[in-house]
Each structure stands twice: as structure tokens, then as C-alpha cells.
Amino acid sequence: VIKACLFDLDGVLVDTAKYHFIAWRELAEELGFVFTEQDNERLKGVSRAASLNILLEIGGLEFDEAEKARLAEQKNNRYVEYIAKMDSSEILPGALSFLKECREVGIKVALGSASKNAMTILNNTGLTPYFDAIIDGTHTSAAKPDPEVFLLGAQAVSVPAEHCVVFEDAEAGILAANRAGMSSVGIGSPETLAEANFVVPSLAQISVAKLQELFAA
């Protein structure tokens, strides 16, 4: 029986990947190389610092830690400008109605995101009131696939791992859910999310009834 739903943010509730992409691409341009949308796939669900390392590897560049911190800040400042303009129209299909449904039936709702900008995004899109607990990149010390972010979420809503289901669009996030001993639903394509218990294209295919049917055992 499912008693808590734990949601990733980017790629599950909102599409911020496009803003991350534009901001990283601008940084790559300034550093003198091309960063493609396909390259960007490698950054999904990955922390900011780890994303920069991947970007620099693609560009074949090396910098010391101080310079890397400056580059990460430069990218983030641009990203923050983009997300400042977000509103509820950017909530992904099916997300809002499913969050509402969870609350109506008393299923706990928690966020488990790697982003340090999660609060800004939730506030701008009006999603904050739907959460019983919010765990983001400002609360965690280990990145997905480490299960920390979801274990903290389950703890915050006082639901044992076996009664939790995680919704994730990134492979690392599904692995984190598995390692936490939780059920998982992948949002995206079955090829990239092979380790998930079930995969659906979006939250529009998910309802509380569907959830109890999938995880009835």
C-alpha cells in the first residue's frame, strides 16, 4: 500500500531542463565550444558541480576549483534569471491534478530534488502548498544515485520506505529510489529508465487508483 509519493522536480513536475540547457550552452559558448541538447541529457538529475565537470570534459578544458566555482556561479546566475519568469503554465501535464488527488486521499507528498533552486521554482509555479515536506539540494550531502534525498523525504513525512513511491525522470534518481528500498515510477522512456518498476510518458497517465493497482501487492 502506498502512503507517500516522493517527486523529483525537474522533468517530473516542471520542465526546467530547457533553462539549464540554455544557461550551460551560453557558458560553453563563452569558453569556446559547442554544447548540444544531446550533451545536456547527461546533466539531468546531476548536481550543479558535477554538471560543470561533465561540461568541461566535453569541452576538453581543465580549471582549478576556484575558477570552477566562479563558472558554476555564472551559469547559476543566468539560470536564476530564467526561472524568475516561470509561472503555473510551466507545470507538466497531469502533475497538478495528481498532487491534488494525493492530498485528498491523505497520501503524503514530498519533494526529492537535487536542485538548490527548488524553492524558487515551487513558489513561482504555485506548487509549494501541495507539499508536506520539501527536500532539495540545500539539505543533502550526497547526490543521486545515493538514496539520501528520498530517505530524508520519507523520514520527514514519517512513512517507511516500503510504503513510498518515487517519481523520477533520471536514471540516477531511479537507482536512488531502488537503493532506498522504495517503489519507483519512471517518467519518460523505458529504454533510459529500465530499472524503474513501471515507466509512463508523464504524470497524466497516473492517478491514485492506478497507483494502488500497480503497487497492490
Residue numbers of the site for Mg ion (CB under 5 A)? 8, 10-11, 45, 169-170
Q: Is 140 in the site for ligand B16 (CB under 6 A)?
A: no
Partner whose footprint covers residue 91, from Mg ion, ligand B16, none (CB < 5 to 8 Å by kind): none
Among 20, 135, 165, 175, binds ligand B16 (CB under 6 A): 20
Three-class SS state of 110: strand
On the CB side of 78, CA atoms within 13 Å amount to 16
Q: Which residues are catalytic?
A: 8, 10
Partner whose footprint covers residue 148, from ligand B16, Mg ion, none (CB < 5 to 8 Å by kind): none
Q: Is 51 in the site for ligand B16 (CB under 6 A)?
A: yes
In single-letter form, the type of residue at position 61 comes to L
Nearest approach in angstroms of CB 60 to Mg ion is 27
Q: Is 9 in the site for ligand B16 (CB under 6 A)?
A: yes
Q: 66: burial class by Cβ within 10 Å (0-12, 13-18, 19+)?
A: exposed
Distance CA 104, CA 57 (A): 47
Q: Which span sits near ligand B16 by CB under 6 A: 28-36, 37-45, 89-97, 206-214? A: 37-45
In single-letter form, the type of residue at position 82 comes to Y
Give just the sign of the alpha carbon dihedral 109, 204, 41, 194.
positive
Residue count, binding to ligand B16 (CB under 6 A): 20
Distance of CA 148 to the CA centre of its chain: 14
Q: Which residues, 79 to 138, sit near ligand B16 by CB under 6 A?
A: 113-117, 137
Task: Check: CB of residue 31 under 8 Å from CB of residue 59.
Answer: yes
**Chain residues in the site for ligand B16 (CB under 6 A):** 8-11, 20, 43-48, 51, 76, 113-117, 137, 170
